[in-house]
């Protein structure tokens, strides 16, 4: 394993599969309420430059279940890169804590944090990617389907951090990824080039949502304006409206297609109530699995399994 968990692209297929195996084991133990204090006495600093529900709750609870302790540092606390240099925070926190999880704006900052921290660093989202989310997502798909053979995932909406992580996953595990965004809002070009070059998955860009969802096993979306893009929200609403996941669009997908969203959802924008609350939606399994998969990542990075 690498020292850090910054991008899915930094991991091999075997390493990712080992994380999923451990996730299963830890999830079963959690369900049985069986003690699994693999990180007894260890502490995690959680640095947040942006808001969060799932990431904070799942990491904090997960670390407690592993017998450790997680410390929440809100956007008002550290002021990473503003009040203090990223590399200084990296070195200071490494003196107190055994592992760091950070949610930051600039991806360069998480790379710098990892470079200067002597302890492992986990990426809890940057403007560029959200690897823990997509690890939980694919694990959830695996649970529901039992395998990942002949999988077609259609991502509809903004080519944002979540979409970039789907592309990174496609560079490691084989599946068919369809990306459907308005022109000019596609995922990161360099990431797409690398994923195409890896030759692991079929990756297609299709601008028409109806065509994009055809034969999809998973229809996935995320908010149209991410954290930090609030000023563009109104303009984006207009541009993205044809990319809404609603019953009409779902009628063009497979009848048993799974609907996913990393949450928080803007109901009535990228997804309608009837779809997110409907029988095909697995959004809450997906949210739960954030905790299980992240526990496995923590345990692996700390060499405790
Ligand atoms: N999906 C996700 O990361 O949620 P939060 O922003 O609430 O942590
Ligand atoms: N793309 C969203 C994901 C939130 C979990 C954002 O960055 O705000």
Q: Say how far apart CA 242 and CA 195 lie, in whole Å.
A: 27
Q: Is ligand 2 within 6 A of the CB of residue 226?
A: yes
Domain assignment present for residue 2? The answer is no
Structure tokens, 94: 């490494």
Structure tokens, 67: 């017998």
pLDDT tens-place string over residues 155-212: 999 999 999 999 999 999 999 999 999 999 999 999 999 999 999 999 999 999 999 9
Atom of ligand 1 nearest to the CA of 51: 6
Q: Is ligand 2 within 6 A of the CB of residue 233?
A: no
Largest CA distance in the chain: 55
Known active-site residue 95 = no
Q: Say how far apart CA 153 and CA 216 lie, in whole Å.
A: 6
Atom of ligand 2 nearest to the CA of 158: 1
* Closest alpha carbon to 75 in 214, 295, 208, 227: 227
Which has more confidence, 53 or 82? 53
Q: Is ligand 2 within 6 A of the CB of residue 52?
A: no
Q: Residue 16: its pLDDT value, please?
A: 98
Known active-site residue 207 = no
Domain range holding 176? 131-286
102 shares its domain with 151 = no
Domain assignment present for residue 253? The answer is yes
CATH of the domain at 113: 3.40.50.1370
- pTM value? 0.98
Known active-site residue 103 = yes
Q: Is ligand 2 within 6 A of the CB of residue 162?
A: yes
Known active-site residue 54 = no
Q: Say how far apart CA 103 and CA 84 lie, in whole Å.
A: 16
Domain assignment present for residue 86? The answer is yes
Does position 1 have pLDDT exceeding 80, yes or no?
A: no
> E strand or H helix at 102, and its extent?
strand 99-103
Number of Cβ atoms within 10 Å of the Cβ of 249: 20
Domain assignment present for residue 194? The answer is yes
- For residue 5, the cross-strand partners are 122
Does position 125 have pLDDT exceeding 90, yes or no?
A: yes
Confidence of residue 78 (pLDDT cuts 50, 70, 90): very high
Q: Is ligand 1 within 6 A of the CB of residue 133?
A: yes
Number of Cβ atoms within 10 Å of the Cβ of 279: 7
List, in sequence order, the alpha helices (H) in the chain. Answer: 13-31, 54-65, 86-96, 107-116, 131-145, 161-170, 189-198, 209-213, 233-240, 247-250, 273-276, 283-301
Domain assignment present for residue 3? The answer is no
> E strand or H helix at 3, and its extent?
none
Among 62, 104, 125, the mutation site with the greatest number of ligand 1 atoms within 8 A of its Cβ is 125
Domain assignment present for residue 1? The answer is no
Known active-site residue 158 = no
């Amino acid at each position: 394993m690498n020292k850090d968990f910054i991008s899915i692209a930094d991991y091999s297929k075997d390493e990712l599969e080992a994380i999923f195996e451990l996730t299963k084991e830890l999830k079963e133990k959690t369900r049985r309420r069986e003690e699994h204090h693999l990180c007894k006495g260890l502490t995690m600093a959680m640095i947040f430059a942006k808001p969060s529900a799932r990431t904070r709750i799942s990491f904090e609870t997960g670390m407690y279940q592993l017998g450790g302790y997680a410390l929440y540092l809100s956007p008002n606390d550290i002021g990473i890169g503003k009040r203090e240099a990223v590399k200084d925070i990296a070195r200071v926190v490494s003196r107190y804590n055994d592992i760091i999880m950070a949610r930051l704006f600039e991806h360069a900052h998480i790379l710098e944090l990892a470079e200067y921290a002597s302890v492992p660093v986990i990426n809890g989202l940057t403007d560029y990617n959200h690897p823990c989310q997509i690890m939980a997502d694919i694990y959830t798909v695996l649970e529901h389907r039992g395998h990942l053979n002949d999988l077609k995932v259609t991502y509809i909406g903004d080519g944002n951090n979540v979409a970039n992580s789907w592309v990174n996953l496609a560079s490691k595990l084989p599946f068919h990824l369809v990306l459907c965004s308005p022109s000019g809002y596609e995922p990161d070009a360099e990431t797409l080039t690398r994923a195409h070059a890896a030759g692991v998955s079929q990756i297609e860009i299709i601008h028409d949502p109806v065509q994009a969802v055809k034969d999809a096993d998973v229809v996935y979306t995320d908010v149209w304006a991410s954290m930090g893009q609030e000023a563009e929200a109104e303009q984006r609403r207009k541009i993205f409206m044809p990319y809404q996941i609603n019953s009409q669009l779902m009628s063009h997908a497979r009848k048993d297609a799974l609907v996913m969203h990393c949450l928080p959802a803007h109901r009535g924008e990228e997804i309608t109530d009837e779809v997110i609350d409907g029988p095909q939606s697995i959004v809450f399994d997906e949210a739960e699995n954030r905790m299980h998969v992240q526990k496995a990542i923590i345990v692996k990075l700390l060499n405790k399994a």
